[in-house]
A and B are shown apart, each in its own frame.
Chain A
Amino acid sequence: MNAGTQELLRVYGQMHLCRTFQNKLADLRKQGLLNAHPYLEVGEEAITFGTCLGLKDTDIIHPYYRGEGAILRLRGGVTVREQMAWWLGRVGEDGTYRMVLPSQWMDVEHGIIGRTDSCLGSEVDVAVGAALAMKLQNLPHVVLTMVGEGATNKGNFHEGLTFSSTLNLPLIMVIRCNEWAMSMPKNETVPIENLSDMSASYGIPAAIVDGNDFLAVRDQVRLAAEEVRATSKPYIIEAKSYRLSPHSSNDEDNYRSDTEKKQWAEKDPLIILADKLRNTGVSEAALIEERAASEQEIESAYQWAITRPVASVSEMLAAQSAVVSKMWGR
């Protein structure tokens, strides 16, 4: 197995881990063991992995709110144990408890911007600011952020792209077209077929990519990043995919047909990636081994996390109060 195939097999394992983690969370939520609703991205993992691994390590990413922190794991800052502990309301490795969902953690050292506002669209403005900081400091890094097709309706999206294009900022805007904005279908919320057509309004390039194909997404992001570095203009990538999971674990998911879901399930990004690996000569046994290792990692993370001390409300409050006191100089 050559290095490229080995790397791809590792991605497959991580993507399967991401899937297993989500399924585990959905299951734990049903048992009433989680302290929040996970926002699942089953079926959309290739976009998360392709965007993250298409960038250079020095580039910056403002992740999507779905994905259970896969990008934090891929970039090396955070472990699955740490994230599992958070979901169970328990303290992590260092004994502290973070304030928001793992998909939204701030990790600027690893080039990851956390959410500061849960209203969708705000990530655009914040990512634009990071891109502005790159330009003003003459740094060669690009900034990538993602919105669903639903959030392309936000004023932030249009302001942010207009602002970035007129000021020549190194921004890659990935539109995760997953067909559903909570319970609203794309044809009722978006007035055009291809969202990438909006690029004409900002005078910037755009591309459409199969969002279920990890390699296609990764290669398109690489291409876009080089173009953005060369031209200092933002770039839109529309990744067409489908959310197989409910919006969150607080969603009965009874607004769409099983037939539709079944059709998309056949194009599952894990199936596509497994097929590619088989075509390069990877054995079925190797795939099975990779999946088993991921499942084992999730299970042992759960076993570790469930024994961690429960996060203390008074400690959480004290941590926030300390920051506010510092901000106010008190």
Chain B
Amino acid sequence: MAMRKINTRQALNEALREEMQRDNKVYFIGEDIGVYHNGNGPTGVSTGLLAEFGKSRVVETPICEGTLAGSSVGAAMFGMRPVVEIMHSEFLVHCFSYLAYGGSKGAVLFQDKPFPIVFRTPNGGENSGATFQDENVEAWFSHTPGLKVVMPTTPYDAKGLLKAAIRDDYPVLFLEHKALYKQTGEVPEEEYIVPIGEANVRREGKSATVLATGNMVRKAMEAAGNLAGRGIELEIIDLRTLVPLDKETILQSVRKTGRVIICHEGRKTGGYGAEVAAMIAEEAFSYLKAPVARISAPDVPGNFPPGVEELMAAVERICRS
């Protein structure tokens, strides 16, 4: 495949454009997604969409997050395929019932008819201490039967997974890490899809398994580079999809290394890592050579994403035991 380097924003923009060209039932809806930021929109993925598709496909709304999300439930019942942009994942709480009930109970009550909705939103944050807007919401929504929760970490995955999400016949929550928007990576010129529900082994190693999401994957890769010189070879798995979880890829690695460090930016208590740790305890306990470690944000209201140093310390501790 012919490759070129683009950033995550461009990758997401391409996915949206291609899917809107492919299927005229797909529409893009959100706040300020038309002309703001020179037509790039608040998240920078709108570039050129309004000009190409017009107001009947790129729908700008008043400040109404509840209706923005809720209307997608009604529109999906009547043949449309909404792609909803929520400006910050923090705002998603005001749409909660439409993901937790509309998107899940609604789909079940709709029996087995297609019920396609993509909710995409910037999640997490780069700087420590932000109290607003840098929220990590993945755990809240992972408790919803039927709802898929997707977190891409590379431009390649962002494009391929967003295309898969838009083609999916059921609701998908698509969480885009803010720190990754400007990251560049190789993306094919040709069309491709990354299936939802498959984790990705980003680095192979035998010392310990790092299970990471979002920006923590990048930090884990950095930690692995630093630790390689000290005789520790990390295996790094980018979960990519939190729900449904690719248990097999995880368990295969756990059986090989026997040591696990779970890293996410969400808070520790009730965080998604607790689910992963419990799953490993249930299904691969006898393979563990050390307790499962969780690297996560402290239980405080602000966002304090864990750093590379913290991750390296945990790895060394786990590998010594």
Q: List A residues at the B interface (Cβ < 8 Å).
A: 60, 62, 99-100, 106, 108, 113-114, 116-117, 119, 122, 124-137, 143, 155-156, 159-160, 162-163, 166-167, 320, 322-324, 326-330
B109 touches A125 (CB 8 A): no
Rounded to whole angstroms, the CA-CA distance of A156 and B66 in the bound complex is 7
Tier of interface size on chain B: 35 or more
The verdict on B74 contacting chain A, using a C-beta distance below 8 Å, is yes
B62 touches A129 (CB 8 A): no
Residues in B neighbouring A327, C-beta threshold 8 A = 107, 145-148, 170-171
The residue among B97, B107, B109, B147 with the most chain A CB atoms within 10 A of its own CB is B109
A128 touches B102 (CB 8 A): no
The verdict on B76 contacting chain A, using a C-beta distance below 8 Å, is yes
The verdict on B73 contacting chain A, using a C-beta distance below 8 Å, is yes
B124 to chain A, nearest CB (A): 24
A99 touches B108 (CB 8 A): yes
A204 to chain B, nearest CB (A): 14
A128 touches B66 (CB 8 A): no
Provide a sorted-by-A list of 7 A–B residue pairs whose CB atoms are within 8 angstroms.
A122-B70, A122-B102, A127-B74, A156-B70, A167-B61, A324-B146, A328-B243
The verdict on B321 contacting chain A, using a C-beta distance below 8 Å, is no
A117 touches B102 (CB 8 A): yes
The verdict on B128 contacting chain A, using a C-beta distance below 8 Å, is no
Rounded to whole angstroms, the CA-CA distance of A62 and B130 in the bound complex is 42
B148 touches A328 (CB 8 A): yes
A129 touches B70 (CB 8 A): yes
Residues in A neighbouring B146, C-beta threshold 8 A = 323-324, 327-328
The verdict on B56 contacting chain A, using a C-beta distance below 8 Å, is yes
Q: Using A124-B67, A133-B77, A136-B75 as known contacts, list a sample of 20 further A-B pairs with CB atoms less than 8 Å apart, ordered by residue number in A.
A: A106-B111, A116-B73, A117-B101, A117-B105, A125-B71, A129-B77, A130-B74, A132-B74, A132-B80, A133-B78, A136-B57, A137-B79, A156-B70, A162-B67, A163-B67, A167-B59, A326-B112, A328-B148, A328-B197, A328-B244
Query: Which A residue sits closest to B244, measured CB to CB?
Result: A328
Residues in A neighbouring B76, C-beta threshold 8 A = 129
A99 touches B109 (CB 8 A): yes
Residues in B neighbouring A326, C-beta threshold 8 A = 112, 170
Given A128-B67, A136-B27, A136-B80, residue A116 in contact with residue B243 (CB < 8 A): no
A130 touches B77 (CB 8 A): yes
B73 touches A126 (CB 8 A): yes
Given A108-B113, A323-B111, A329-B197, residue A126 in contact with residue B79 (CB < 8 A): no
Q: Which among B61, B62, B66, B171 is the interface contact of A155 at CB below 8 angstroms?
A: B66
Interface residues of B in 199-220 (CB under 8 A from A): none
The residue among A62, A126, A155, A324 with the most chain B CB atoms within 10 A of its own CB is A126
Query: Which B residue sits closest to A137, measured CB to CB?
Result: B79
Q: Which among A114, A137, A166 is the interface contact of B80 at CB below 8 angstroms?
A: A137
B78 touches A108 (CB 8 A): yes
A330 touches B244 (CB 8 A): yes
Rounded to whole angstroms, the CA-CA distance of A326 and B196 in the bound complex is 13
Rounded to whole angstroms, the CA-CA distance of A329 and B88 in the bound complex is 28
Rounded to whole angstroms, the CA-CA distance of A136 and B77 in the bound complex is 13
The residue among A62, A131, A324 with the most chain B CB atoms within 10 A of its own CB is A324
Residues in A neighbouring B75, C-beta threshold 8 A = 129-130, 132-133, 136
Rounded to whole angstroms, the CA-CA distance of A135 and B80 in the bound complex is 11
Residues in B neighbouring A135, C-beta threshold 8 A = 56
Rounded to whole angstroms, the CA-CA distance of A69 and B148 in the bound complex is 32
Given A122-B97, A136-B75, A137-B80, residue A114 in contact with residue B109 (CB < 8 A): yes
Rounded to whole angstroms, the CA-CA distance of A113 and B106 in the bound complex is 10
A126 touches B108 (CB 8 A): no
Rounded to whole angstroms, the CA-CA distance of A326 and B112 in the bound complex is 8
The verdict on B98 contacting chain A, using a C-beta distance below 8 Å, is yes
Rounded to whole angstroms, the CA-CA distance of A128 and B76 in the bound complex is 12
